[in-house]
Amino acid sequence: MWSNPVSVEAMYGDWGLGADEGEAGVDGDFEAAVEILARSLDPRPSKSIFDTIGALGIGAGDTVLDIGGRDGLHALAMAGRFGCRAVAVDPVEANVTRGLELIAHHEHGHLVEIRIGTIEQIPAEDGVYDAALSRDMLGHIADPAPAFAECLRVLRPGGAMVVHEVFATALLEPEEERRLCADIATYPERLSVAGFESDVQSAGFSIESLDLIGSEWSEASQESGAAPNYLLQVSRLRRARERLLEELGEVPYRVMYGNALWSIYQLIGKLESRVYVLRKP
């Protein structure tokens, strides 16, 4: 960012930050800087994606697909917020089993269905959905062309697809990307912004809008305490590698490590979150 190095004199000198409060001097300046950085920048939480969906005008009478919808939690949230019907599709049986249980006991469960399926083979008739959501799942897809073609098939003409994905920035080194992706079942190619934008447009979607979330969601989850301290997790996973590998097993060890880095890399700008609204003609 800067080509000139900070000198020792400047680093330990008087920054003048606390001068107004009569706290001038090295310690006062450092504390003043810490205080400035303790102020929240009011990052949006991840549920801001529902504002994007709301802006599409989704309401009662509409049906929304959540592809890679895990246990239907987001489908339930959309049903609760918009009064729409929502269908979550996920290939992992344990997710669907948990989802059926959730839906059965949820006040908006009557509006929600959860089905086994994949983005490559969505269990639905043509043109039945008013909108589709894909949140943090396209990284698992080997070939995006049939996946986006299938999304287009199940959307009605003029329907919208809201996609949240995490992408690499220029700060992510190739070896970091390779290791991270291997640990969290992700195809490195899916981390490319240019690749994504070209894939969706080749499939026949137009890109209607882009919301550059960057690190906001990760920052918000750290501030609220909703997310664990990922830095501490990585430190422990590294320091007690052998013991934790044995205690957790290889896959949980690697997934926990990768998941923590996924968030840390967003916080330090190696990855960035984006929300796209795509439109079927």
Ligand X SMILES: C[S@@+](CC[C@H](N)C(=O)[O-])C[C@H]1O[C@@H](n2cnc3c(N)ncnc32)[C@H](O)[C@@H]1O
- Judged by the rule CB under 6 A, the positions of this chain that interact with ligand X are 67-70, 90-92, 95, 118-120, 135-137, 140-141
Q: Which residue is nearest to ligand X (CB)?
A: 68
Neighbours of 156 (CB within 10 A): 15
> Shortest gap between Cβ of 10 and ligand X (angstroms)?
44
Whole-number minimum distance, CB 267 to ligand X, in Å?
18
Q: Whole-number minimum distance, CB 90 to ligand X, in Å?
A: 5
CB nearer ligand X, residue 28 or residue 68: 68
Give min distance, CB of 194 to ligand X, in A.
22
Q: Which of 191, 194, 202 is nearest to 140 (CA)?
A: 191
CA 151, 154, 157, 159 dihedral sign is negative
Q: Which is nearer to ligand X, 34 or 116 (CB)?
A: 116
Distance separating alpha carbons of residues 85 and 65, to the nearest angstrom: 9
Select 29 or 150, whichever has its Cβ closest to ligand X: 150
The residues, any chain, with a CB within 8 Å of residue 182's CB and separated by 6 or more, are 254
Whose Cβ is closer to ligand X: residue 18's or residue 139's?
139
Handedness of CA 212, 265, 151, 206 (dihedral sign): positive
Q: Work out how close the CB of 74 gets to ligand X at its nearest, in angstroms, rounded to a whole number.
A: 6
Q: Which region, left, alpha or beta, applies to residue 6 given φ > 0 means left and ψ of -120 to 50 means alpha?
A: beta
| Cβ 213 to ligand X shortest distance, Å | 13
Query: What is the Cα–Cα distance from 115 to 128, expressed in whole angstroms?
Result: 15
Q: Are strands 63-67 and 85-90 parallel, antiparallel or unpaired?
A: parallel
Which amino acid is present at 267? L
Tell the smallest beta-carbon distance from residue 138 to ligand X (Å). Answer: 9
| Residue 189 main-chain phi, psi, to 5 deg | -60, -30
- The nearer residue to ligand X, 32 or 147, going by C-beta atoms, is 147
Pick 29 or 266: Cβ nearer ligand X? 266
Neighbouring CB atoms inside 10 A of 30's CB total: 15
Q: Give the residue with the Cβ less far from ligand X, 89 or 111.
A: 89
Smallest separation (angstroms) from ligand X to the CB of 273: 11
Integer Rg of the chain from CA: 22
Q: Using CA atoms, how far apart are residues 267 and 170, in angstroms rounded to an integer?
A: 14
| Closer of 119 and 154 to ligand X (Cβ) | 119
CB neighbourhood size of 268 (10 A): 13
Q: In one letter, which amino acid is 2?
A: W
